[in-house]
Amino acid sequence: MLVLAAERFTSAGLSHRGLQWLGNRSYSVYLWHWPLYVGLAYMERKDQPLWISIAITLTLGIGHCSYLWIENPARRLAERLSPGRGAGLLASAAAVVLLPAVAIWRQEGIHGRFPQFVELAAAESGNINRQRADCYSMPGRPFPSCIHGGTNPRLIGIGDSHLSATVSALTQARTKESDGVIEWSYRGCQFAPGMRPAMPSEKNSDYSCEEFTQRVLHELETTPRNIPVVLIGRYALSAFGPIGNPLDPDIPQVFFSRPYAQTTPEFLAEFGEHITRSACELARYRTVYMMRPIPEIGLNVPKTLSRRMTLGSWQDLSVPLAQYRQRNAWVWSAQDAARDRCGIRILDPIPYLCRGERCDASRNGRPLYADDNHLSEYGNKLLVPMFATVYRDN
């Protein structure tokens, strides 16, 4: 707008032939850059300088052809038509694009467009706990208390979204149809009383992990003490932030006594002590189980696997076990301390999710995760034998 308002026809910069060439073709270049970028994303090349350079070159080349063969002819045609006929032509062209797009959207895509194994892998993103909307607490929502399975409470699950993602396996492991599992879960809230968000904002202004934790403690006071508790949480997210995030590496998302600008050994020691102490406080009155953290993958498993399959790759996805150990060693230490200090019991999902030195994100072309860190309803069933030990012990 400022360039047009200035009307500087003799400007050395604006009259440069290269800039004018690019300016004339800028709209066509703009239209073509996005499908090329999406192509890089599908091929997992969007962060590689060589492929970015190739895509930019193709964008300019295709944009030039589009400018010569589509944009200019369309403009000349529009100049020859009357306003009424021009409007009708534009409306018809828009309808040709819009109507099929709406039909595809209403059908949730074109089923059968890909082979069945590709669609099965992609569909795992929707294979999540069907009661999640009613039983999983989020900021601004009331505190729900759900019982899964039967009506006779046998276990209480406390934790964050990783509890919500595994509660159906915890329920399936029960020995009697009448047994039920109580779920108390809250987004991003591992059970560690005193934990507060490090960076409050308008986005999480309704976030109240403290309030949720206090509500849990209040509910436990009136719950029979012979019902064991299972603690499940994604502790590493609160300690380090999302896995594989180069923009905010190792920045705590929570604090206890004071905020930390970076994840330090002192912060991890304080966090770990709260994990240990809170578990031991519960263990004074009832049996407590703590599950080792679920491996985080760092990429959307259904999306990545299905895209690779369309490109001919059949290799299952996995992450190094060493990566998991490095990110979660402090959590293991805190859980071990609770075991040694007050007799809590450990549930270890690693033998069920990891083989050798790799942790599986998919097996035989089927994702075990619904995204980059939550087990799907298919994947969490691998943990049923582990959870069955809880019922046998009690």
Sign, CA torsion 307/308/310/316: negative
Asked if the structure places residue 90 within a domain, the reply is: yes
The answer to whether residue 120 scores a pLDDT higher than 90 is yes
Q: Is the Cβ–Cβ distance between 118 and 309 less than 8 Å?
A: yes
Interacting residues of 239 by C-beta distance below 8 A, sequence separation 6+? 252, 253, 254, 263, 267, 268, 271, 330
Q: For residue 225, what pLDDT band results from cuts at 50, 70 and 90?
A: very high
pLDDT of residue 142: 67
- Are 95 and 132 part of one and the same domain? no
Sign for the CA dihedral angle at 215, 217, 221, 225 comes to positive
Q: Sorting pLDDT into bands at 50, 70 and 90, what band is 138?
A: confident
Same domain as 162, residue 28: no
> Does residue 136 sit within a domain?
yes
Of the given ranges (23-32, 81-90, 316-325), which has the lowest mean pLDDT? 81-90
Judged on CB neighbours under 10 Å (0-12, 13-18, 19+), 315 is exposed
Residue 2's pLDDT is 82
How confident is the model at residue 227, as a pLDDT? 96
Q: The domain spanning residue 215 has which CATH number?
A: 3.40.50.1110
Which band of pLDDT confidence, cut at 50, 70 and 90, is reported for residue 200?
A: low
Say which residue the tokens 């400018």 belong to: 67
- When divided into structural domains, the chain yields a total of 2
CA-nearest of 289, 359, 284 to 317 is 359
Closest CA to 93 of 121, 62, 70: 70
- Average pLDDT over the chain, rounded to an integer: 91
Give the single-character DSSP code of 69: I
- With bands split at pLDDT 50, 70 and 90, how would you rate the model's confidence at 206? low
Say if residue 363's pLDDT is above 70. yes
Q: Summarize the chain as % helix, strand, coil (round to 5).
A: 50, 15, 35
13 occurs within a structural domain: no
- The domain boundary residue, chosen from 110, 130, 160: 110
Residue 372: domain span: 122-393
Tokens representing 268 are 């991890």
pLDDT in tens, 29-64: 999 999 999 999 988 898 899 999 999 999 999 999
